Amino acid sequence: MEWLIASVIAVMTGCGVYLTLRARTFPVVLGLTMLAYAVNVFLFAMGRLQVGFPAVIDPAAAGYTDPLPQALVLTAIVIAFGMTAFLIVLALKARSELGNDHVDGLHRSEDERKATRHNTKTDSERSES
């Protein structure tokens, strides 16, 4: 089981890092969200994996899971949401101010392939509006 969870954390980290390194804002936001999942699961797993042990005081319970990582991760999830929201709005603001969604505010980066059909249209529509 531990192998499985470690692999899950690893895959989410790798995917998150890769997306964070992309050139457009939306994939970067997705990447950071993914990284947040990975970090949360990682922190949670620091309390070791427990099946069937509650974190609620109960005289009938056979044992308890570690409640501390849970408490930490609970707030981390909410903060991660706040950060994602902040980032995506920042991306919107950047697009509105700079006219594009490249992380550096470039209209079209030279190392990107020629835009697809849809993007060409979006750009022309934008210039009309």
Partner 1 sequence: MSLLSFNLPLAALLPFFAAPFAAWATRYNRLASAWVAGITTLLTLALLFPSMAFVFAGETIIQQWSWLPSIGFNIAFRIDGLALLFALLILLIGLLVIIYARYYLSAKDSMGRFYAYMLMFMGSMLGIVLSENLLQLVVFWELTSITSFLLISYWQHRQDARQGARMALAVTGGGGLALLGGVLLLGHIVGSYQLTDVLASGDLIKGHDLYLPTLVLILLGVFTKSAQFPFHFWLPHAMAAPTPVSAYLHSATMVKAGIFLLARFFPALSGTPEWVWLVSSAGLITLLLGAYVALFKHDLKGLLAYSTLSHLGLITLLFGFSSELALVAAIFHIINHATFKGSLFMVAGIIDHESGTRDMRKLNGLFKMMPHTAVLAMIAAAAMAGVPLLNGFLSKEMFFEQAISASGTPLAIWTIPALVTLAAIFSVAYSLRFIHDVFFNGEPIDLPKTPHEPPRFMKIPVDILVVLCLLVGVAPMYLISPILTVAVASSLQTAAPEFSLAIWHGFNIPLLMSFIALVLGVAVYTVRHRLFAWNEKGLHSLDGKAVFDWLLWKTIRLSKKVTDAFDQTTLQPAVTWVIGGALVLGIITFFQFNSPLIGDRVMMEADVITLLMSLILIVASLLTVILHHKRLVALIAIGVVGLIVALGFVKFSAPDLALTQLSVEVVTIVLLLLALFFLPQHTPQERSYIRFTRDGVISVSAAVSVFFLAMAVLSRDYSPISGFFIDNAKPGGGGTNVVNVILVDFRGFDTLGEIAVLALAGLCIFAMLEGLKLFAPTKDVDGLVWSHDPHPPIMQTLTRLLFPLMLMVAVFIFLRGHNLPGGGFIAGLIASVALISQYLANGIDWTNERLRIDMHRVIWIGLLIATLTGVVSMFIGYPFLTTAFTYLTWPIVGKFEVASAIAFDLGVFLVVVGATVMILVELGKLSHASHHIKQEEVN
**12-51 residues near partner 1, rule: CB under 8 A:** 12-15, 17-27, 29-30, 33-34, 37-38, 40-42, 44-51
Residue 40 beta carbon to partner 1: minimum distance, rounded to whole angstroms: 7
Residue 114 beta carbon to partner 1: minimum distance, rounded to whole angstroms: 8
Q: Quick one: DSSP state of residue 111? A: T
Distance CA 16, CA 38 (A): 8
Distance CA 31, CA 15 (A): 7
For residue 34, the tally of other CB atoms under 10 A from its CB is: 20
Interface residues for partner 1 in 86-115 (CB under 8 A)? 86, 88-93, 95-96, 101, 103-104, 108-109, 111-113, 115
Structure tokens at 3: 């192998």
Confirm or reject binding of residue 2 to partner 1 (CB under 8 A): yes
Residue 117 beta carbon to partner 1: minimum distance, rounded to whole angstroms: 9
Confirm or reject binding of residue 79 to partner 1 (CB under 8 A): yes
Amino acid making up residue 67 = P
Residue 75 beta carbon to partner 1: minimum distance, rounded to whole angstroms: 5
Distance CA 111, CA 82 (A): 32
